[in-house]
Amino acid sequence: MRGSKILLESLKKEGVDTIFGYPGGQALPIFDELYNEKAIKVYLVRHEQGAAHAADGYSRSTGKTGVCLATSGPGATNLVTGIATAYMDSIPMVALTGQVPTSLIGNDAFQESDMTGITRPIVKHNYLVKDVKDLAQIIKNAFYIANTGRPGPVLIDLPKDVMLAEADYVYPATPNLRGYKPNTEANKNQIKKAAEMIEKAERPILYVGGGVMLANACDEMVKLAEKINVPVTTTLMAIGAIPSAHVLNVGMLGMHGTRYANYAMQESDLIIAVGARFDDRVTGKVADFAPHADIIHIDIDPTAIGKIIRVDLPIVADSKSALRDLLSAVKKLEHKEWLLQVEEWKKEYPLKYIDSDKEIKPQYVLEKISQLAKEDTIITTEVGQHQMWAAQFLSFTKPRTFLTSGGLGTMGYGFPAAIGAQVANPGKLVIDIAGDGSIQMNIQELATAVKYNIPVKVAILNNGYLGMVRQWQELFFGGRYSSSDIESSVDFVKLAEAYGAKGILIEKKEDVEKALKTAFAHKGPVLMDFRISREENVWPMVPAGAGLGNMITEGLA
């Protein structure tokens, strides 16, 4: 069988039915094979970065491994930001790249780039297939690596001659990876110790990260929280792991988290960290972080444990199995006083904003979106102020419904990710909360959305600024708005129409609801341009380098 055919047969064995891709010379044998392949649908994007983010959104919204495909050289390097985005957030993805024929590798051949070299620090693993006989086994390994343990992207570089070469095809039953054995079950003694620590603690808190989402362990986590009655704070990556309205949920912690989540962390005497990694956006100044707390850290990745913060009890395990074990090991607990204290903070320091009748406030738009959206609506975001407002003001009830680039903070992520999520979830409402800066980073994907009638809705919170940059310049750089004013850079309605999509301009508060209803009812993709108050800031905020207890809020007294 030909290499390109072995590739597709192997992909099908891994359950792949969707690929986001873009062709080019060295990938032609693969695309030619795809031409006749009925069981795999290829979505032709308009920029390879879009393909990588779409595969990522496809994965985040389903848990399946997303697949993207690009040609060698510039096509492959265009994937890089998308691969790095997936890597930082531990998203299972397989990126396939065409490569120049093996005889030319290393010669600076036309459209050659050393993809295994370039992506080495941003993939879980990568392969250059030099012999067609290895192809099927490599694909088996790649999918196994991508979606077990701590998931992540795997790149497979496919030289053209290997795709054209012939070999016998037998799909291997198992990966052959003697150096890779993810540890999924928690050590029983450690679980017992954890249960003891939890039973002794007076002010415990569950600090939940994206790992819980990736392990599909949200149910177990909520059950544990309810059994031991502790507040739950989530990172940006874990929003949706516990319903926003759940009494125990104190929302997101960290730089733009809620005051009450941060206070609860700072005052706690036991942090139960699950699938979280103590990122600097979460801890603030490490030396001042949760000074009274012992820490139990559950993570599938041993390197995440003890990397930033000393941990009293490390548990290396899959969150799902560890939480299940912990759930049966702990007694039912109350923590009345502690929860009362948290409740008081909630009342005293709610997330708030000053609404206006003259201007559209971004938070107002988001509240309206939450009112009009359905339970299973999937939200993606770009990166900036709008992303933080979305994390703060939207409400969620289900896991895998909030897709955002947390670790890398990639502007341009949200729109192609929404396309990927919509492809995976054809019946659901998918909305990208965008900024006027970010949306222009992958705006070309409007063509993809229109061509395949992928009915994503984009809500641009248009402040005419690279708003998050402007906010930092206002607060920390004396108000010198260096290269952050992008006002009236584009007429988004005309732009949408130019691509054949629907565009709606919203300049008045009273039009917000109507526009959203129109957009949600529309059968195709829609770009909504909400002209919001220009210099609104994201509050509260822990300034970079300060402790979590030192949140600032201005103008919201």
Partner 1 sequence: MTKRKVISVIVENQPGVLARISGLFSGRGFNIESLAVGETEDVTTSRMTIVANGDDLVLEQILKQLNKLIDVIKVTDMSEESHVEVDLALIKVEIKDPAHKSDIMTTVGIFRARILDVTSDVFLIEVTGSEDKVNAFIELMKQHGIREMVRTGTIAMTRTKIQK
Ligand X SMILES: Cc1ncc(C[n+]2csc(CCOP(=O)(O)OP(=O)(O)O)c2C)c(N)n1
Nearer to ligand X, 148 or 440 (CB): 440
93 in active site: no
**3-state class (DSSP) for residue 116:** helix
Candidates 97, 463, 473, 537; binder of ligand X (CB under 6 A) is: 463
Q: Which is nearer to ligand X, 138 or 366 (CB)?
A: 366
Residue choice 113, 385, 404, 448 for contact with ligand X (CB under 6 A): 385
> Which member of 386, 457, 502, 509 binds ligand X (CB under 6 A)?
386
Query: What's the 3-state SS for 31-75?
Result: HHHHHCCCCCEEEECCCHHHHHHHHHHHHHHHCCCEEEEECCCHH
Three-state DSSP class for 120? helix
Name which of 261 and 466 has its Cβ closer to ligand X. 466
409 lies in the site for ligand X, by CB under 6 A: yes
Give me the catalytic one of 160, 346, 457, 509: 160
Residue 15 interacts with which of Mg ion, ligand X, partner 1, none, CB < 5 to 8 Å by class: none
- Residues of 449-479 as b/e, b for ≥16 C-beta within 10 angstroms? bbeeebbbbbbbbbbbbbbbbbbbbbeeeee
DSSP character at residue 483: T
Q: Which residues pair with 41 in a beta bridge?
A: 18
Interhelix angle 414-424/48-62, rounded to 10 degrees, is 50
Query: Which of the listed partners (Mg ion, partner 1, ligand X, none) does 117 bind, with a CB threshold of 5 to 8 Å by partner kind?
Result: partner 1
Judged by CB under 5 A, does residue 99 bind Mg ion? no
- Residues lying near partner 1 in the complex (CB under 8 A) are found at 116-117, 120-121, 124-125, 128, 145, 177-180, 301-303, 306-307
- Catalytic site includes residue 110: yes
Q: Which of 67, 242, 272, 411 binds ligand X (CB under 6 A)?
A: 411
Strand ranges of the sheet holding 153-159, from the earlier edge strand across to the other edge: 41-44, 18-21, 66-70, 93-99, 153-159, 125-128
CA 183-189-193 angle, 5° bins: 115
> Quick check: 467 binds Mg ion (CB under 5 A)?
yes
Q: Catalytic residue among 14, 33, 48, 220, which?
A: 48
Residues 425-454 that bind Mg ion (CB under 5 A): 435-437
Residue with smaller CB distance to ligand X, 480 or 523: 480
Q: Is 468 a catalytic residue?
A: yes
Residues 6+ apart with CB under 8 A from 53: 82, 85, 410, 412, 413, 415, 416, 417, 420, 442
Helices 218-228 + 319-329 axis angle, to 10: 20
Complex with ligand X: residue 242 or 460, whichever CB lies closer:
460
Residue 177 binding target from ligand X, partner 1, Mg ion, none, CB below 5 to 8 Å by type: partner 1
Q: Is 465 in the site for ligand X (CB under 6 A)?
A: yes
> Rule CB under 6 A: is residue 437 a binding residue for ligand X?
yes
Which of 415, 360, 364, 429 lies closest to 390 in space, CA to CA?
364
Which residue of 56, 325, 382, 445 would you call a contact of ligand X, by CB under 6 A?
A: 382
Give the list of residues 6+ apart from residue 344 with CB closer than 8 angstroms, or none.
none
Task: Return the residue of 81, 137, 147, 463 that touches Mg ion, per CB under 5 A.
Answer: 463
Strands (E), 253-408: 270-274, 294-299, 313-316, 378-381, 402-403
Applying CB under 6 A, which of residues 51, 468, 506, 551 lies at the interface with ligand X?
468
The entry of Mg ion, partner 1, ligand X, none that residue 410 binds, CB within 5 to 8 Å by partner kind: ligand X
**Look-up of token digits 């054209």:** 164
Are residues 435 and 463 in contact, defined by beta-carbon separation less than 8 angstroms?
yes
Nearest distance, CB of residue 382 and ligand X, angstroms: 5
Q: Tell me how far apart the 2 most distant CA atoms of the chain are, in Å.
A: 72
**Other residues' Cβ atoms within 10 Å of the Cβ of residue 79:** 31
- Out of 221, 388, 411, 468, pick the active-site residue: 468
The catalytic site residues sit at 48, 110-111, 160, 468
Residues that bind ligand X (CB under 6 A): 382-386, 409-412, 435-438, 461, 463, 465-469
Q: Note the residues at the interface with Mg ion (CB under 5 A).
A: 435-437, 463, 465, 467
